[in-house]
Amino acid sequence: MGSKNKLKRFKENETFQNVLQPSREEVVTGFELKGKWNSFFKNDNPIVLELGCGKGEYTIALAKKNPSKNYIGIDIKGARFWRGAKTAIEEEMKNVAFIRTQIELIDFIFGKNEVSEIWITFPDPQIKYKRTKHRLTNTTFLKKYHQIVTEEGTINLKTDSEFMHGYTLGLLHGEGHEILHSNHDVYKNHYSPEEVINTQTFYEKQYLDQGKPITYIKFRVKY
């Protein structure tokens, strides 16, 4: 993407009512919507997050299928989720929002038990050991999710990385979390949840073209 195109999208994001771009200081010193997202959406419907949402494919697709839930895509790259935000505006989807921020700040953005479900779609597996702290399913992140997700809330990991799939399964087993579903190849297994196979992201289509199996885990964090 050219720099001019990026700048154009950044500028357009600033005009979108469904896009929030708080500074890090604004987030950590008392984010105004923490615990009050019902006032943003003007309803008390369940809130679902897509972390590292990219172009927002899952955010948009799930929001269309479930109008009685509110969906929020989170990514630090605003030029990417511009597409999802623009689609939501064009199609007058009132249950969609996007936040440009670091994922590690989500416990500053959402209150206790404020989120009903989290989707982690094709995250960077951070394979090198020194990058362990950046894996979105490491213990630190699981504790953050536990703070904001309801007791019965679920977390979904969809990835092309066998390493990420295996690492997450091992960690979940080791820490005693509740694994609700695990699938090492969602398109070859006879049972795969509809929302997993009926929505494909931009990157997922590339991985499928390369013959990579797509894996999936659904779980609850228990501490």
Q: Which residues are catalytic?
A: 124
In angstroms, what is the C-alpha Rg of the chain?
17
Show the tokens assigned to 26. 């604004």
Are 179 and 217 in contact, with CB atoms under 8 Å apart?
A: yes
